Amino acid sequence: MDHFVAHVAASPPRVSGWLRVATPLAIVAGVCAIACSAAPTQDDSGQSGSWPVRSFQPKEPAAEESPTQQGGTAKPAPPVEADAGTDAAPSGVCAPAPNLIACYDCCEKQAPPNAVQIWSNAFGFCLCETPGPCASACGTSFCRGNAPSAACDRCIDQMGGACSAAADTACLAAPQCAPLTQCERASACDAKPMP
């Protein structure tokens, strides 16, 4: 019996086959769990790629802004098209909305889930990713997923029209987003006054 005990004590422990496979897998899973739960790293531009969801509510003016720097929306006015002299009334479900904000809100309620997020991501990508027209002005606020700073708001008001058009195009290409832009166009939301 002493020989058996001595042999077992001198021999390296045997590890069963499942444990040899499970141990490295557990280590890999642990590393993945740690890496996946860590905060996302920023790229060289410092932009996260996730932008706030669009909001067309009138903004409270910042203390340093003058009245000429306030207001505006990220959506451009639709192009004026010449017609044969008859104006067709908007036919969209939200056409009766009295103003731009009410019209957008109405269309957002009619749209599929995530439509607004898809539009917002396309808008943010256009504004913030190189060569985004507001990447510099919004780099520490909107482009990092925060509320836009006063300088960023001014840039979006001045430069956001092209990105709004790009977001509309991207939205129309995505089946789960297209109804949002289609509703806004059919209801002539962009032609309505601000509240």
Reading the chain (195 residues) residue by residue, the pLDDT tens digits are 333 333 333 333 333 333 233 333 333 333 333 333 334 333 333 344 455 555 554 444 444 433 333 444 444 444 444 445 555 677 889 999 999 999 999 999 999 999 999 999 999 999 998 789 999 999 999 999 899 999 999 999 998 899 999 999 999 999 999 999 999 999 999 999 998
Tokens of 46: 């410092």
pLDDT value at position 109?
A: 96
pLDDT at 131: 84
d(CA 83, CA 92): 19
pLDDT at residue number 146: 92
Contact 97, 187 (CB under 8 A): yes
- 115 is in which domain, residue-wise? 97-191
- pLDDT attached to residue 90: 77
Q: Given this model, what pLDDT does residue 122 score? A: 94
Residue 103 lies in a domain: yes
Residue 133: which of 112, 104, 154, 149 has the closest Cα? 154
104 within a domain of the structure (yes/no) = yes
- Residue 16 falls inside a structural domain: no
The total of structural domains in the chain comes to: 1
Q: Does any domain span residue 69? A: no
Residue 174 confidence (pLDDT) = 96
Q: Which tokens sit at 147?
A: 């509320």
- Please report whether residue 61 resides in a domain: no
**Short-list 164, 172, 120, 174, CA closest to 142:** 120
Q: Closest by alpha carbon to 120, among 57, 187, 59, 55?
A: 55
Q: What is the pLDDT of residue 191?
A: 94
What does the buried/exposed string (b/e) look like for 63-84 if buried means 16 or more CB atoms within 10 Å of the residue's CB?
Answer: eebeeebbebbbbeeeeeeeee
- Integer CA distances (angstroms), 73 to 8, 26, 89, 171, 194, in order: 79, 51, 23, 18, 9
Q: How far apart (Å, rounded) are the C-alpha atoms in residues 87 and 187?
A: 14
In a domain, 18, yes or no: no
* Residue 165 forms part of a structural domain: yes
Query: Cα separation of 76 and 159, whole Å?
Result: 10
- With respect to residue 151, please indicate whether it lies within any of the assigned structural domains: yes
| Residue for token pair 């009295």 | 98
Q: What is the C-alpha separation between 117 and 3, in angstroms, rounded?
A: 72
Q: How far apart are the first and last CA of the chain?
A: 94
